[in-house]
Structure 1
């Protein structure tokens, strides 16, 4: 076999490894593009919908002990056939308790009964009422100033966990941002100016599970420091209630959010209308939608009232810091593995990686508690890719070293045969090295 064929045979393992790596990367990219959203996608597992900082919501109990000053009212218990008529009565009754502000997490997209719409429009003109806005304009946009409309959508794509909330957002065909629903409601309730900042902020979440309880049913069993917001059935407020005094105490000077919590009653576990996935859920992936949008607005409003803030680490600089932290833990693990005695290799290798992962998780949780959200999707992706490709890359490195060593030996052998051939190989060897 001539020399050129021998070199071809030697290069074959290297070519195979490179082709396999390229093919794996291509398949991974295509797989993340084509898997349906209902499944646990690789990009969700690695980057998008799993975040190590979610563990902070499970561990930190102090957030849940924040005083809940927002009252929820369930529209799901109203007669859906006469919804707007009963909503008129509900708003009128709520106003009789003199609340500070009422937010309607309801979008009115089309007109129905002209007389009822006229009555509803007259009630909505009150300056302590805030209306929700989505892509389409409200039919009551001419009855209220634009400053009393708030954008009620969340900064997510469909099916994602809601971890953020808008300060303000471009709605529909608008050219200027509309303040978020909670921002406008906070402005009306506290008379503080709306934050003009565009973009979003990280949600703290002061509640668990669905995030509310029926305050009329659980009287005396809960406190304002409970991990859920107090809620009232809308149907109970339009009927002659025997708990008028309790309602007066609860609703006077309160901030109220009226929205859908469940139908025909708020505790219906099978109603998923307007429910969202939230990081307080103990399930880490493929979460169920459990928390109503009205409760998420209530959490955001509580953050604004408490002047609570979490720094969301965006931008190239923070990405560099995140990657440095990732590689520090990876290299620390490799260093520890390389400097242990041979008889302890197996047990220590089994311990090192879990321990380092736990340390990393507690570091991220601690940062979240002090108000810094470090994006951690890349942690999982990087660690996973390292575990997948570390061994092939080691094999590739050894194969390159072997090939270079053989090339050097071939050069030494050729030195005795042909000086011209030696010079050519020397140049080639210099280029290879």
Structure 2
């Protein structure tokens, strides 16, 4: 109210109350129009190209673009990635065997052996998967679990789903859901199970409620910013000291020389260098999992401004803006349109800047809807004035614009 009174300090007495009432009615009118527009947009295919063009764009990707240029990531040294590239099952078993000899605390295996193949090599691989340190990955496809063939699941309960989130309409991986419930059954994600095996069951009990909701991923590095070992770096090496008691995540990371041109198991993320326009997927699934594990271990979450606060601030800013420009509109200032356009532009730019600043400090402030509603509502003042004139002429409804 202090801000509102400072803006309208020149309005006194009866005019102040009339402006307040007119601003409230204009706000209701603009919200109704906005609701109709949104309803039409949802039901007309005409708007589909526009919706599809912007659904995976976020101005917050500018933050990651600048962050990648800085190259000063603070990565968790307890995470080591191992690339299996195009290895067969016998070669994968050899790699896993040599990894276990280095005594890591957790081995996250982001590989799904859906079918049994050669009985001899399958049995050899199964033997190497019997360590309690393993966490296995599986996937949900239409609520159907796709996991390892029964032979390979040697350790009960040590598995997590590899899906990042369950929003099929979004191509960019910005969020993840750590715990998912289907009916009476509870499922845990692959990164959550890795963190639980590393930190302890008490951590999962404490975080279970928090992880049931979809959360934004705090990305801290690309493939180049993690320690990656190839099979040649492991096989036959008697001792690798930096693996002991660490988290080793095994999966596909492409060829070490040509991985930039490999799109197998790659996903779009906010770290894509080309965040506007067409581009190939930029990040391997194992690297995304590593970023999530990094976030879980360091407790470095992005805090999301709640929707109720967004709603409150939208209503307040819309009301203040309408009250101010309704007052100016009646004065018939020659610079009214110029002022209105400048305020709309400055408001949008300043709010984007504030949102980026907050995001840099770990707070996600989704201001797109706030900007859209405020700017849209201010643009409807002229139409509302005509509507007010109609009601005054026909029904003698008085207000700030028209009264006896």
Conserved in 1, the CA contact under 8 Å of 2:302 and 2:364? yes
Q: For 2:149, which of 139, 160, 169 is the aligned residue?
A: 139
Q: Does 1:103 align with 2:108?
A: yes
Q: For 1:91, which of 96, 108, 119 is the aligned residue?
A: 96
Q: Does 1:201 align with 2:215?
A: yes
Q: Does 1:254 align with 2:246?
A: yes
TM-score calculated relative to the size of structure 1: 0.68
Deviations 1:207-249 (A, max 9, x none): 2xxx112xxxxxxxxxxxxxx21222335534x6xxx58x714
How well do the aligned residues superpose, as a CA RMSD in angstroms?
3.9
Residues 285/234 of structure 1: CA separation in 2 closer, same or farther (3 Å cut) = same
Q: Does 1:290 align with 2:282?
A: yes
Q: Does 1:178 align with 2:178?
A: no
Residue 108 of structure 1: how far off its partner (Å):
2.1
Secondary structure of 1:85 counterpart: helix
Secondary structure of 1:204 counterpart: coil
Residue 101 of structure 1: how far off its partner (Å):
1.4
Match of 2:297 in 1: 305
Conserved in 2, the CA contact under 8 Å of 1:204 and 1:310? yes
Deviations 1:233-281 (A, max 9, x none): 335534x6xxx58x7144233211111222x446432221221121233
- Partner Cα separation in structure 1 for residue 293 and residue 186 of structure 2: 19
Residues 64/199 of structure 1: CA separation in 2 closer, same or farther (3 Å cut) = farther
Residues 406/178 of structure 1: CA separation in 2 closer, same or farther (3 Å cut) = closer
Alignment of 1:360-371 (within 5 A): 360-371=351-362
Conserved in 1, the CA contact under 8 Å of 2:251 and 2:286? yes
User: Which runs of 5 or more residues in structure 1 are unaligned?
Assistant: 1-19, 214-227, 409-425, 427-433
Alignment of 1:151-162 (within 5 A): 151-155=161-165, 156-157=167-168, 159-162=170-173
Match of 1:150 in 2: 160
Match of 2:57 in 1: 50
Secondary structure of 2:289 counterpart: helix
Q: For 1:167, which of 157, 169, 178 is the aligned residue?
A: 178
Deviations 1:66-86 (A, max 9, x none): 23322212222x34xxx2111
Deviations 1:9-38 (A, max 9, x none): xxxxxxxxxxx9999666533345883xxx
Match of 2:25 in 1: none
Residues 253/103 of structure 1: CA separation in 2 closer, same or farther (3 Å cut) = same
Conserved in 1, the CA contact under 8 Å of 2:106 and 2:248? yes
